[in-house]
């Protein structure tokens, strides 16, 4: 699941709507919405992102936060290390190979180091 998908799922739960209800109201397939939430599809289009923000009544800071989460939710990340040090390349490759094995504490430490945030601790 992506940070964006996690937030959409949380907002759906708070609104008390099913994935199918939301998909029907946005006039997209429930399969596509599910794949978007689970990170099996790329980033939402700017238009769909605006539709989702409108659907949940998000404006200003909340809408900007959804845009930020969408931008950070590409499930197919590419890290270009050309021109950087061998250690940069090593870190990128080790992270790619071992990311699934990181504990919650290790993820929190990396996020703190990189200036990111955990999605559930944001408080939406």
| Residue 122 reports pLDDT greater than 50 | no
**Span 4-10, average pLDDT:** 95
| Residue 92 reports pLDDT greater than 60 | yes
Mean pLDDT value across the chain: 90
**Span 93-121, average pLDDT:** 85
**Span 63-89, average pLDDT:** 91
DSSP letters for 52-110: HHHHTT--HHHHHHHHHHHHT--SS-----TTS-HHHHHHHHHHHHHGGG--HHHHHHH
CATH topology of domain 3-71: 434 Repressor (Amino-terminal Domain) (1.10.260)
What is the share, in percent, of the chain residues with pLDDT greater than 70? 94
DSSP 3-state of 84? coil
Quote the DSSP letter at residue 100.
G
| Residue 40 reports pLDDT greater than 80 | yes
Question: Binning pLDDT at 50, 70 and 90, where does residue 119 land?
Answer: low
Sequence spans of domains, the chain? 3-71, 86-122
Distance from the first to the final alpha carbon of the chain: 17
**Span 115-119, average pLDDT:** 68
């Amino acid at each position: 699941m992506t940070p964006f998908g996690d937030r959409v799922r949380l907002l759906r739960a708070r609104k008390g709507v099913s994935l199918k209800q939301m998909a029907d109201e946005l006039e997209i397939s429930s399969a596509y919405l599910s794949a978007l939430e689970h990170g099996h599809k790329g980033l939402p289009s700017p238009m769909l992102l605006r539709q989702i923000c409108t659907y949940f009544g998000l404006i200003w800071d909340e809408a900007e936060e959804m845009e930020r989460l969408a931008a950070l939710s590409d499930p197919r990340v590419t890290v270009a290390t050309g021109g950087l040090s061998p250690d940069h390349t090593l870190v990128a490759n080790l992270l790619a190979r071992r990311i699934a094995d990181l504990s919650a504490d290790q993820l929190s430490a990396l996020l703190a180091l990189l200036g990111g945030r955990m999605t559930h601790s944001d408080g939406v």
